Amino acid sequence: MGKKREIRVEIKGEQESAQEFVEVYKRALKGKAPRGAIERIYFADMETLTRILSNRRLELLQTLHRYRSLSIRALAKRMGRDYKNVHGDVQVLKRAGLIEIDQSGCLLTPWDHITAEISLAA
């Protein structure tokens, strides 16, 4: 597994995230790096964020991080959970970008830190 990384999860509307994308794109056209490059995942609202990053799924990410690389079956066994439920959680976390698959087909999470940022300003 490569260098450990940090990812930030934020609540941001479509218009705000689209505007940020345009700004990054314009900088890239000028040959400039993005300002403060940190990988991010945006959620439309707090309800979606907490639904995707439930306590069970956070526990799954922590277990996966601890053991580095596991199959879904091995992950379910380590957690003492049903395979089908773990499989569903893994699919959600893969779609969100928080779980990756290594060369051997096992799951991993490259993140050491997931930072949630919630702005109080509208």
Give percent above pLDDT 70 in the chain.
91
Given a contact cutoff of 8 angstroms between Cβ atoms, the answer to whether 52 and 90 are in contact is no
Does any domain span residue 122? no
Does any domain span residue 17? yes
Does any domain span residue 10? yes
For the stretch 66-82, pLDDT in tens is 998 999 999 999 999 99
Least confident of 59-63, 84-88, 117-121: 117-121
For the stretch 8-46, pLDDT in tens is 898 887 777 677 777 777 878 888 876 665 688 888 889
Q: Please tell me which residue, 47 or 119, carries the higher pLDDT value.
A: 47
Does any domain span residue 51? yes
Number of domains in the chain: 1
CATH number at residue 61: 1.10.10.10
Residues with Cβ within 8 Å of 79's Cβ and at least 6 positions away in sequence, in order, are: 59, 60, 63, 86
- The residue segments making up the domain with residue 92 are 5-117
Given a contact cutoff of 8 angstroms between Cβ atoms, the answer to whether 108 and 102 are in contact is yes
Q: Counting every residue, how long is the chain?
A: 122
